[in-house]
Every structure is written in structure tokens, then in C-alpha cells.
Amino acid sequence: MDMLTFSLEPESSTPLYEQLYLHIRQAIVDDTLMTGTKLPSKRKLGQFLDVSQTTVELAYAQLLAEGYIESLPRKGFYVLPQEELYVRRGTSTIEPLPTKKTYTFDLYPSQIDTTAFPFERWRRHLKQVVAEENHELLALGSVQGDLVLRQEIATYLYHSRGVHCSPEQIIVGSGTEQLLPQLLDLLTDATTFGIEDPGYPLTRQLFEHQNRSYVPLPVDDSGVLVDRLEAEAIDAVYVTPAHQFPTGTILSVSRRQRLLNWASERQTYIIEDDYDSEFRYSGKPIPSLQSMDQNERVVYLSTFSKSLMPSLRIGYMVLPPPLLNRYRERYRHFTCSVPRFEQHTLTEFMASGDFEKHLNRMRKTYRRKLETVITAFKPYEPLVTITGASAGLHIVLSVDTAQTSEQLKQLAEQSGIRIKAMADYRINSRDTRPQLLFGFAALPEATLHAAIDQLMTCWNIGKGGPYGKTSR
């Protein structure tokens, strides 16, 4: 057994035991210390390196814990075989995460303008919550979320969306990804759901993860086709009536009433995801489906991801009383997934009026961007037409071309532009003109013209009419 010669630095901020551990670990990984090599005793190595025996003991303990060495009674410490080492550490099966690609223009439809977030106001409310030194916030709160936040949400929903509910009916959670599975768990009698086609892929994944089957329901200019719902053996339905994603259509009043009648007759539930309802640019605000419900058949679902920031991870649902009772029975021993300091910061942000002010500013900002986009596309009509521009943070482009939507996506990708196609959100493919989703919210207003011109150039569409072979 040769003595281990390592250079340790007593003046370093890294503790001596950690330095020694790192040196030995690297020697094992590099095969400098071969499998089966016996390490010096703690006393001898400590004397040789002029460090305490405790330093060596701590280093060996870390190597033992991580599976680099083993300790045999009355024999000493030995380097483990490399095969066993890899199995223990799992390095041979872990693949690195893919690096995120950057684009010249990112037109992804679900993005927001993060540059407009009111950091100063948010910071002020966060400081106030911390400065109060409310020790109660250090304990676990209500599984439904803190009452003060639910009161603010209830007030906001009544004035902005016409939602009738008490704070007791509101469940706060960390977004749709958490709340929808909980809701499906409550809908024990519902095994088959109707969902919009096209629709949000994550929703389908959540249904699949909960082992629930679904029936695709087509969408036209008036929203989801309710007559298809009535003809199918469907137990409950998931819809986005205020601004259907991704088409941007609004569910007509007559279909809303038919949908409510269907739920009442079947004694089942409608899941209303109030997607993008905060940002409407023309006409009067569309009331929520829940506000029309007289028979407690609608579960209202929404988040703050678009109105504030996706990373806040705060969403909420409004449960009808029968489901609320079931929720409290099933989840009474659970805790709310949203940290209480964030809940109270949001509460103060809403109570102070800052939330409403921020929404008003963002409506103006997004309206200006939308108007810029519509103006910039004018010269490319009629080869490119726009729909879904009354609300939301993206528009739908219908392109008159011989290319498929997938080919248009690839051309855009080659030109440094990320864009999604309507086909990406469909369950059942349809033979229609290529449609693509142009997300305008995240781009600076000054770059929108350049983004559109570059997109049209890569698609070989000229102003005032077609040129080249890709347009017809």
C-alpha cells in the first residue's frame, strides 16, 4: 500500500476534509486508485499529510456514503469495483438535459411580456409581509389556501368575471397541473370526458395520467360543437369558453346554454378553464360560464400565469358545494402547495389595487402590440389572414400556400423563428389550409415588424401578392 500524496491548502475556504475527499474521489474515478486498492489507515494518512485523524475520518465517511470505498472489519478501507460504483451512482443511465435553443424571434403562443412586471410594487408588498414578522405564516396553513387570499380572489372574480362564489368554495394550488388531477379525483363517477379538439396537449396528458378516457369534440367559429357532446356517451366535459385555446373562438351564448342544460340533465359537471380571459381587446367582456350556471354544475378553473407571471405557480378552482364537501373529506390531511409568504404577498398586491392597475397596463401594452401585428400583416393579405384577434396573447395565421404547416414550421426554424402550428394541438388531423399560431406578447413592440417580414420572407410570401413557387 503506497501512501497517498495530495496537496492540501489549509488557507482555502474549502474544508480540509472536503479537499481530501475530492482528491481521493478523483483518483478513484481516474483509476489512479485501482479497484481493490487498500487505503491507508486514518491515523497513518493523517500523520503523513499532517492533518488530524478527524479530517481523514470525515473524508473517508463521505467516500463510504457515496459508494466509492468500502470498510471491511479489521481489514481497513478498500476501493470498490468500478462496475459496482457505476450501479450505485447511476452515472451510466442518466442523460443530460437538452440545452434550450435560442431563436431570433420566439413566437411561442403561451409567453408573456416579462419586461413589464412591476418588480418594485411586488417587492414592496413582499417586504411588508416579511416585516410584519407574522409567526403564524411559518406554520402550515389551510389546505385550501389562506382565507385572506381566497377572499381577494372571490372579490376579483365577481367583479371581473361575474363568478358567484364564497371564499370557502375556492381552492388555491400551484397551477392547473396540480388542481386538475385533484378535481378528476373528486369526479369519481366520470370516466369519459369530452375535450376540445384542437386543445392544450398538457390537458390531455393530465387526463391520461389519471387513467381517464376522453372524446375529442370539434371546434368551429362558435366554439365547441355541443351537439357532438350530446350524441356521445360522455360523463363530463372540459372547455375553454371565453377564449378557446388555440383557435381563439368564443363559445356562443346559445351553445353555452345548451351546454349548461346538458350538464343539468345528466347531473354531471363542466370544467370551465377560463384561459386568457383577462385580455380582451374588442367588445364587452365575455361573462364566465359559471356566472350563467343556476344548478351548480360548473367548476371554474384559472391561474395567474398570464396576468402576472408563469413562475408564480398560483392557480385556483371554484368548487360547487357537493364537490367542496368531497374535497374536504379527501384532502383534509393535505397542505396547500403554495408557500404562505407568496400567498400573502399576492393578497397585498391585489388588496392594494396594484393587480388591477397592472392588468390595465398590460391590456394596453398587448393591445398596442396586437394592432402593430395586424398592421404589419396587411401587406401580405390575402395570402395570410388573421383570426382569433379579439382576445388573448396570440393570433391564428391561415396561410394560402402549397406548403404544409409542418414545412412552414421547418422553414421558420431554419430562419431562427420558433412558431407552433394548429396541427400541433389537434387530436384528429384535418385537411385544411395551414394554420400557425403567432404569439406576439413576449416580443418587444419595436421588433414585431421585423419578425413578420422575416417570417414572410422564409415562407416566400411577398407584399402585395405571391412570389416564387411556395405561394399559389
Residue 1 lies in a domain: no
Structure confidence by residue, pLDDT tens digits, 78-130: 999 865 444 454 444 556 767 778 899 999 998 999 999 999 999 999 999 99
Rounded Cα–Cα distance for residues 372 and 440 (Å): 10
Whether residue 296 sits in one domain with residue 179 = yes
Query: Could you give the CA distance from residue 466 to residue 459 in angstroms, rounded to a whole number?
Result: 10
Determine the Cα–Cα distance for residues 341 and 347; give it in Å rounded to an integer: 10
The residue assigned the cell 363542466 is 270
54 and 168 both lie in a single domain: no
**Domain stop point among 313, 333, 352:** 352
Q: Which residues, in sequence order, are CB contacts of 394 under 8 Å at separation 6+?
A: 107, 109, 110, 246, 248, 388, 437, 438, 439, 440, 441
Confidence of residue 192 (pLDDT cuts 50, 70, 90): very high
Alpha helices in 12-118 (DSSP H): 16-29, 42-49, 53-65, 82-89
CATH number of the domain encompassing residue 55: 1.10.10.10
Q: Are residues 361 and 348 in the same domain?
A: no
Tell me, yes or no, whether 374 and 420 share the same domain: yes
Q: What is the pLDDT of residues 249-294, one digit of tens each?
A: 999 999 999 999 999 999 999 999 998 888 998 777 788 999 999 9
Residue 94 lies in a domain: no
| Residue 6 belongs to a domain | no
Nearest Cα residue to 333 out of 170, 202, 101, 143: 143
Beta bridge mates, 78:
38, 70
Which residues form the domain of 58?
Answer: 16-89
The answer to whether the beta carbons of residues 39 and 78 sit under 8 Å apart is yes
Can you give the pLDDT at residue 105? 96
* CB neighbour list of residue 42: distance below 8 Å, 6 or more residues apart: 53, 56, 57, 60
Tens-place pLDDT, residues 57-84: 989 989 988 888 999 988 999 999 865 4
CA dist 179 and 94 (Å) reads 30
Q: For residue range 159-170, what is the model confidence (pLDDT) as tens digits?
A: 999 999 999 999
Q: Are residues 144 and 274 in the same domain?
A: yes
Residue whose entry in the numeric block shows the C-alpha cell 411577398: 462
Asked whether residue 375 falls in the same domain as residue 437, the answer is yes
* pLDDT, tens digit (0-9, with 9 covering 90-100), for 414-455: 999 999 999 999 998 876 789 999 999 999 999 999 999 999
Query: Do 171 and 317 form a contact (C-beta atoms < 8 A)?
Result: yes
What is the CATH number for 340?
Answer: 3.40.640.10
Q: Domain check: are 299 and 274 in the same one?
A: yes
Residue in the block written with cell 372579490: 155
Q: Is 329 exposed, middle or buried (0-12, 13-18, 19+ CB in 10 A)?
A: exposed
* 99 in a structural domain: no
3-state secondary structure at position 306: coil
97 within a domain of the structure (yes/no): no
pTM tops 0.85: no
251 and 289 fall within a common domain: yes
In a domain, 348, yes or no: yes
Last residue of a domain, one of 318, 352, 386: 352
Q: Return the residue matching grid coordinates 361573462.
A: 287
For residues 207 and 296, state if they share a domain.
Answer: yes
Indicate whether 327 and 222 sit together in one domain: yes
Provide the Cα torsion 254, 258, 259, 263; round to 10°: 150
Assign residue 402 the CATH number of its domain.
3.90.1150.10
Q: Is residue 152 part of a domain?
A: yes
Domain for residue 3, yes or no? no
Mean pLDDT for the stretch of residues 177-206 = 93
Residue 339 sits in the same domain as residue 365: no
Q: DSSP string spanning 230-282?
A: HHS--SEEEE--SS-TTT-----HHHHHHHHHHHHHHT--EEEE-TTTT-B-S
Residues 340, 366: one domain?
no
Report the number of distinct structural domains present in the chain: 3
Between CA 20 and CA 79 the distance in angstroms is 15
**Cell numbers standing for residue 224:** 365547441
Interatomic CA distance for residues 457 and 214, integer angstroms: 40
